[in-house]
Structure 1
Amino acid sequence: MSITIGVDIGGSHISSAAVESENFKIIPGTYFSGAVNSKASKDVIIKKWGEIINKTIKEIDTNQTIGIAFSMPGPFQYETGIAMFKDNDKYESLYNICISEELLKHLIVKDVSFRFLNDASCFGVGSSLIQESLFVKEKIIAITLGTGFGASFLNERLPITTGNTVPHNGCLWDKPFKASIGDNYFSTRWFLGQYEKYTGEKLKDGVKEIASIQNEYTSIIFEEFANNVSDFLFPFLVEFDADLLVLGGNIARCHQLFLPKITQNLKIKNVNLPIIIIENTEETSIIGSTYLFNEVFWEKIKEELPYF
């Protein structure tokens, strides 16, 4: 398929766009996004997803089979398209629902093929695609820093989820760090918690708000964050022998406040590799998801789609 639709599902939004498979660029006029209540009923959520995707469909040639690829958070059965959201405070009404079957009821076209991949993996694949003109790298670790902590390990664009050089399932959010797990240190709630601990003040707008304040406490918090990131990622970077580290997510937009320290810390540990910041995380994930309709890539990955 020369044109496919990529869909990025977030905890509170859906974004959809058509992507030109030859140059991995979003086709102008096809990008649409909308807010989604992840605690709503199944019908409300699926109807909203269909509404946004239909906007994209209306902007492309529908006289051929349309491929729709999802950048989807877990837990999810990526091979079957069945949602497994349970006890994770989002989209729980979709538990054990086949997304492709339900969504097709709300689309304005019926000749559709669906494919699914983990959102962190889609971001990693998209990162490798859009950076191709600047970097020819074999091994990439891509992480997203936002409401949650996502990660993917890629070797020549293929997400690696098994083997001795990557953590279990190719995930980092659940790996031990200090008194807890990575997700509790590399997400928005950690920043908000640290700011409240130092100042006694509760903020609501997240990391961007903390960065805009620029007082002595924000400097301390961002330095702590940089040290934590360096210490946590160091063994994974070494074990995977990474050629490139990619950072995305809302927190990455404040990279000027922590990236120099991360780079310095890694150099002290004799880890010297380029670090790329990608601010348009959603668009990158959309581009990465549509690569599922590259048949060579699909044949390599479909038997190893994570089941979690």
Structure 2
Amino acid sequence: MNTSYAIGLDIGGTHITAAVINKTDMKVLDFSVCKESFDSNLPADQVMNIWKKVICTAIENSKIKNITGIAVCMPGPFDYKNGICWIKDQSKYEHFYGLNIRELLLETLGFSTDFPVLFENDAVCFGKGEVFKQQKNLSKKVMAVTLGTGLGACFIDKGVSISSGDSVPVDGEIYNLPYQDGMAEDYISVRGLLSHYKSLSGTVLNNGLELYNLAKSGDQSAIKVFGKMGEDLAAVVIPWIKNFKADHIIIGGKIANASDLFLSSFNKTIQESSLKIEVSISNDNEIAALLGAVSFLCD
């Protein structure tokens, strides 16, 4: 059997990770992985040049010549079929609204206009990748949640992503579910954490890492903020765990790295609702997302 390779891209509000993936074995070529943090609110041409540098480095490191496609996991709102970005007023990709990212990507890389490029929701990619990583999940109903600059989710039934029907929210999304005085993402995201910390302490922080370091150093307001986020996350997902009849919930995203600060309050709220569900934290969000993205090229 001829081995086939594709580029997997995990693109978030503050980072891009690229790797070359063996589609035949669904394995990431470890030495090809290249990542970079950046400001997604830079002008579009500057962002595209950052992406180009990371992608080209991954290809160069892989020593693979016959790349057969690009699979991109991208946060929404996004027209995944046509590759058009509809992100607006989310403190990320301010200059990308309405742009055709497929065309921009191919033009920037100098690839032909018919080169296969597939886009999928970042949370869906993460969820599918986790299923590939843990084969036992192929027989289960899994809800996957990503916590970062936004709040992502996906629902997977025996390896198949479910985004319609009565058992899941509209489009399988939870970020825009009504919650307290706004929507879920207003509370369960980096900006939600920073906003809550400001309301408690009066201090404006620049990013989630500053908040995490404060919590780890014993700052009680920072500790309280993470604990409350755990409760909020549980409150948002409980109705959909019940509706979907999920066996397993997997939490990923940048904020998942701070699980020691919110997982106990999350689990406590889950237990108080009398739900019995396996809860786990992903130990490599990016690899899962890359595998999940490329899996759609194989479907």
Q: TM-score, normalised by structure 1?
A: 0.86
1:88–1:65 Cα change, 3 Å: same
- The aligned counterpart of 2:231 is 227
Matched residue type, 1:70: V
- Equivalent in 109, 114, 124 of residue 121 of structure 1: 124
Q: Which residue of 1 aligns with 2:20?
A: 18
Contact 1:250 1:279 in 2 (8 A): no
State the one-letter code of the partner of 2:124. S
Q: Is the 8 A contact 2:230 2:265 kept in 1?
A: yes
Provide the residue aligned with 2:60 in structure 1: 58
Does the 8 Å CA contact 1:211/1:254 hold for their aligned counterparts? no
Partner AA of 1:13 in structure 2? H
Indicate if the aligned counterparts of 1:51 and 1:106 stay in contact, CA closer than 8 A.
no
| Cα distance in 2, alignment partners of residues 159 and 19 from structure 1 | 21
Work out whether residues 138 and 158 of structure 2, in 8 Å CA contact, stay in contact via their aligned partners in 1. no
Q: 2:295 aligns with which of 276, 280, 291?
A: 291
SS of 1:165's equivalent in the other structure is coil
CA contact (8 A) 2:31 2:62 kept: no
**Partner Cα distance (2:192, 2:75) in 1:** 20
Alignment counterpart, residue 249 of structure 2, candidates 245, 249, 253? 245
Q: Which residue of 2 aligns with 1:144?
A: 146
SS at match of 2:164: coil
Letter in 2 for 1:115: L
Residue of structure 2 in register with 1:41 after alignment = 43
Q: Which runs of 4+ in 1 moved over 6 A?
A: none
Q: Deviations over 1:189-241 (max 9, x none)?
A: 22222223333333334242232132443443333222222222111100000
The letter of the residue matching 1:264 is K
Which residue identity does 1:237 align to in structure 2? I
3-state SS, counterpart of residue 220 of structure 1: helix
Q: Name the amino acid aligned to 1:290.
A: V
Per-residue deviation, residues 117-150 of structure 1 (Å, max 9, x unmatched): 0111111111111122x54442111111122111
Q: What residue identity is the alignment partner of 1:261?
A: S
Moved more, 253-262 or 149-158: 253-262
What CA distance in whole angstroms lies between the structure 2 residues aligned with 1:97 and 1:149? Answer: 22
For 1:45 and 1:205, the matched residues in 2 are separated by 20
Aligned-residue offset at 1:68: 0.7
Relative to structure 1, the CA distance from residue 197 to residue 94 in structure 2 (aligned partners, 3 Å threshold; closer, same or farther) is closer
What is the aligned partner in structure 2 of residue 76 from structure 1? Answer: 78
Residues 94 and 197 (structure 1), Cα distance of their counterparts in 2 relative to 1, 3 Å cut:
closer
What are the ranges of 5 or more consecutive residues in structure 2 without an aligned counterpart? none
Provide the residue aligned with 1:301 in structure 2. none
Contact kept, 8 Å, 1:120 with 1:152, in 2: the verdict is: yes
Match of 1:105 in 2: 107
TM-score by length of 2: 0.89
Please say if 1:94 is aligned against 2:92: no
Rounded to whole Å, the distance in 1 between the matches of 2:190 and 2:38 is 19
Tell me which of 133, 137, 140 is aligned to 1:130.
Answer: 133
Match of 2:274 in 1: 270
Q: Percent identity?
A: 30
SS in 2 for 1:95: coil
Structure 1 residues 230-261: Cα deviation after superposition (integer angstroms, max 9, x where no partner): 22211110000001101012221121222233
> What secondary structure is seen at the aligned counterpart in 2 of 1:222?
helix
> In terms of mean alpha carbon deviation, does 87-96 or 42-51 score higher?
87-96
Helix, strand or coil for the counterpart of 1:47? helix
The verdict on how the C-alpha distance between 1:50 and 1:230 changes in structure 2, with shifts beyond 3 A counting, is same
Cα 1:230–1:90 shift into 2, 3 Å: closer
Question: For the residues of structure 1 that align with 2:53 and 2:214, how far apart are their CA atoms?
Answer: 35
